[in-house]
Amino acid sequence: MSKSKVIVITGATSGIGEASAKLLAKDGHKLVLGARRENKLQEVSKAVEENGGQAIYGITDVTKDEDVEALAKLAVEKFGRIDVWLNNAGIMPQSLLSQKKILDWDNTIDINIKGVLYGIGAALPYMEAQKSGQFINISSVAGHVAGPGSAVYSASKYAVRAISESLRQEMAQDKSNVRVTVVSPGAISTNLLNSVTDNKVKAGMEQFYDAFAIPVDRVALTIKQAIDIPEDAAWNEVIIRPTAQQM
């Protein structure tokens, strides 16, 4: 177990974010939760406290830079530092390019790419000043392989990996002691499928997930392990799939 850390999580009210908050609370960490739904933020904060951690939250839309900056400021004002920033907020619209679902395209770019950039931009000055920290950015198996219907989503997750690798090299070059980790999940039981707007594609994906998906706790455990390893080393990239998943 690592020493108590200040951990900021975006997309903290469901899926990987919620599961990670609850698991990390058991190690006594201080959780700073960001998401759009205040009622859910209150629920997860209560669960964190019940699991032995501390929790505060800020209503956060990751498509708004000012919201993300405010979340970072909240963490520092309350706990004095930011040790880990988990860029978790994301959506997964899937459709053929010929359908020209421009709203889906724009939302995917705004949340999955800009949201990660805003998180890095908000937390990085604090981490560089304290000469320590860790970014954990959630990509996807779709960030390693693209297919019909996944063009924009895959592009966004490839982008997360590219941004993370550049950040890793910049931090190593600056000797900032800031670690960078990318976690790329396969089929995981979350509510991510709710963001698929094409009914035909969604039906096929639901069938696939029903057959192969593993509990979200598996990803939360991976995140905990990435935090817990000694700070002179980093898991730079982890792919976690169901054992039975081929892609």
What residues are annotated to the active site?
153
Burial class (CB in 10 A: 0-12, 13-18, 19+), 162: middle
What the block records as the tokens of 212 is 């192969």
What the block records as the tokens of 163 is 């941004």
Determine the Cα–Cα distance for residues 242 and 124; give it in Å rounded to an integer. 33
Q: Tokens 């396969």: give the residue.
A: 186
Determine the Cα–Cα distance for residues 126 and 87; give it in Å rounded to an integer. 16
CA torsion 98-143-222-180 (nearest 10°) is -130
Q: Which amino acid, residue 134?
A: Q
